[in-house]
């Protein structure tokens, strides 16, 4: 249905929109909150499940109105399921 109507999924299903510049900059829109933060890990809750960003020297540049921006040296990005988040 989404494909046939050519509608953006993030708007219709209220899903997060993620932008990464290389392994240095990370921007996540439409999140549900910050679950954890350490110099090596950033855990963000979204409607589609938790998003885990791993790396070193992680810095949260800003948290505003449904947007989180972070920078550092990213090593991996992991998406969890919605059940895992709620469980």
Q: How many whole angstroms separate alpha carbon 18 and alpha carbon 68?
A: 10
Element (H, E) at 34: strand 33-37
> Binding residues for another protein, how many (CB under 8 A)?
19
Q: Is 65 in the site for another protein (CB under 8 A)?
A: yes
Q: Is 33 in the site for another protein (CB under 8 A)?
A: yes
In the complex, the smallest distance separating the C-beta of residue 70 from another protein, rounded to whole angstroms, is 9
Nearer of residues 3 and 64 to another protein, judged by Cβ: 64
* Buried-exposed string 10-31: b where 16+ CB fall within 10 A, e elsewhere: eeeeeebbbeeeeeeebbbbbb
Q: Which of 10, 17, 37, 85 binds another protein (CB under 8 A)?
A: 37
**SS3 category, 64:** strand
Nearer of residues 2 and 60 to another protein, judged by Cβ: 60
Six token digits for residue 74 = 């990213």
Q: Is 75 in the site for another protein (CB under 8 A)?
A: no
Residues at the site binding another protein, with contacts judged by CB under 8 A = 33-39, 57-65, 67-69
């Amino acid at each position: 249905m989404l494909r046939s109507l050519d509608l953006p999924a993030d708007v219709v299903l209220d899903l997060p929109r993620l932008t990464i510049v290389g392994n240095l900059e990370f921007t996540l829109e439409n999140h549900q909150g910050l679950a954890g933060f350490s110099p090596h890990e950033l855990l963000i809750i979204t409607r589609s499940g938790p998003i885990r960003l791993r790396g070193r020297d992680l810095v949260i540049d800003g948290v505003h109105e449904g947007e989180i921006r972070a920078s550092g040296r990213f090593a991996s990005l992991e998406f969890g399921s919605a059940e895992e988040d709620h469980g």
